[in-house]
Amino acid sequence: MTHIIAPRTRKVRVLATLGPASSTPDMIRKLFMAGADAFRINMSHGSHEGHAKVIGHIREIEKELGRAMTVLVDLQGPKLRVGKFEGGSTILKTGKTFILDRDKTPGDDKRVNLPHPEIFAALEPDTRLLLDDGKLCLRVKTVTPDRIQTQVETGGKLSDNKGLNVPDVIVPMAALTEKDRKDLSFALEHGADWIALSFVQRAEDVAEARRLIGGKAALLAKIEKPSAIDRLDGILELSDAVMVARGDLGVELPPEQVPPLQKRIVEMARRMGRPVVVATQMLESMITAPTPTRAEVSDVATAMYDGADAVMLSAESAAGAWPVESVTMMDKIAHAVEADPAYADRIHFTETLPDPTTADALAEAAGRIADTVSASAVICFTTSGSTARRIARERPLVPMLVLTPKLSTARRMGLLWGAHAVRTKDIASFEEMIAKAKRMALRHGVAGAGDRVIMMAGVPFGTPGSTNVLHVVRLTGDELKSYSGE
């Protein structure tokens, strides 16, 4: 990579979903230049052939611009759906009895097929069933192995194959369906940097996905089931990052419960040093309008003030009429928030106590030293990315330049708060580390002549997770004269 793309001047990352409105090379390039730091491929839609082309476009633009780009592949997960109706739909009347059964005969206003036997085993009387994104609500009265009798609490129109949510119990279903396994193989084969696991209910779901991924990509757990909230510690422990997926979370919970849960998830992820993405309906009105509502802007800003690593665009960038404008708006909101003098205090409101390790102690110290000596940047050398994640957890207010010999590590940094990742040749000595850090700081514009920078690395070099060196140096401005290729 020979081009130099200047680091973003904001810390919060923007994750943009690609789709029919944004899958061409020209549009992907425009989204990146507008501020997209990572791109989401949604496996709920499209074909493997189409997704392969989009990933290929991203990699070509990566080469063209000389900047590592992040690809997140989002697995669909187990989608629960009712069967079909005579005529394609029916009307459920509030207060009436409605049956879900194993009979594949087309349904009517009294019954319909439910092709998920595991639900029959999991339900208990008085639990709720939500249909069509929560628009309709059924209350379970009796359950047998092949028949669920319910009372309609909120009626309305119900069409073929509409989704079913079971918020009150853990359904004994694997988080990975057969489709997900095929999609996962495709994603790993095409070099996805992150795999997003949908409808996680427990830590075992994450463990299974991690086993199948085998270290070939980082794993992000989507928190969209109430059952996951009670097991958040275990899920976070096994995940590389989490997403507050407010769409399904807002279906299975009353909407007023989602904001406090969002803050709780962000805070727990921050404490455990896991990148956290806030997603769904962030700029929803921009699917059809060139500007967002004031409430949407406030919502996005709140996630940033809470310290989220990234904010995500869904249909706004995938299928909306204003994809570039949506990314540009995210970028503008981030700049405005981070320019607020109160921002530093707000993002440090969550106390992130370091683990009792040398690496964590040095990462915490780096931010404080940067303030004390007015350093212009923190530069870290990392193989696995763990040093960068530790530094990012402390939310230093100076730029963070991440230098790594592994392109895969550089690519995964697109969801990490404040990280500007550069793939560079490995280092073999302390002196080489200092010289390279100085050159790269100047080349990438994170510091200038006379500035101090903080360097972090692990000795022996090239050993993942061995961060044990913190060094402060001053740049003279002459370092680039010795540059002979990185």
Domain ranges of the chain: 13-77+175-341, 86-165, 358-482
Are 13-77+175-341 and 358-482 equal in CATH topology? no
Q: Are strands 13-18 and 38-42 parallel, antiparallel or unpaired?
A: parallel
Instruction: Decide: 276 and 270 in contact? Cβ < 8 Å.
Output: yes
Mean pLDDT split into 10-residue runs, the chain, 486 residues: 74 98 97 98 96 98 95 94 94 96 95 93 93 93 96 95 89 88 98 96 94 97 91 96 93 90 95 95 97 98 97 97 98 98 90 78 87 92 92 93 96 97 88 90 91 86 72 83 55
What is the structure's pLDDT at 444? Answer: 92
> What CATH code would you report for 358-482?
3.40.1380.20
Q: Are strands 241-245 and 276-279 parallel, antiparallel or unpaired?
A: parallel
What is the structure's pLDDT at 53? Answer: 98
Cα–Cα distance between 43 and 76 in angstroms, integer?
6
**Two tokens at 421?**
């990742």
**Two tokens at 55?**
């990933």
What is the structure's pLDDT at 463? Answer: 65
3-state secondary structure at position 12 = coil
What is the structure's pLDDT at 1? Answer: 41
Element spanning 153, H or E: strand 147-154
Sign for the CA dihedral angle at 402, 404, 407, 409 comes to negative
Distances (CA, A) of 475 to 319, 404, 423, 472: 47, 21, 21, 10
What is the structure's pLDDT at 482? Answer: 55
- Which residues are tagged catalytic? 40, 81, 222, 280
User: What CATH architecture is 13-77+175-341?
Assistant: Alpha-Beta Barrel (3.20)
Please say whether the structural domain 86-165 has been given the CATH code 3.30.565.10: no
Instruction: Decide: 438 and 456 in contact? Cβ < 8 Å.
Output: no
Main-chain phi, psi angles of 37, to 5 degrees? -100, -20
What is the structure's pLDDT at 367? Answer: 83
What is the structure's pLDDT at 480? Answer: 67
Query: Which regions of 341-481 does DSSP assign to beta strands (E)?
Result: 377-381, 400-404, 419-423, 452-458, 467-474
What is the structure's pLDDT at 465? Answer: 60
pTM value > 0.85: yes
What is the structure's pLDDT at 485? Answer: 52
Cα three-residue angle 404-409-410, rounded to 5 degrees: 70
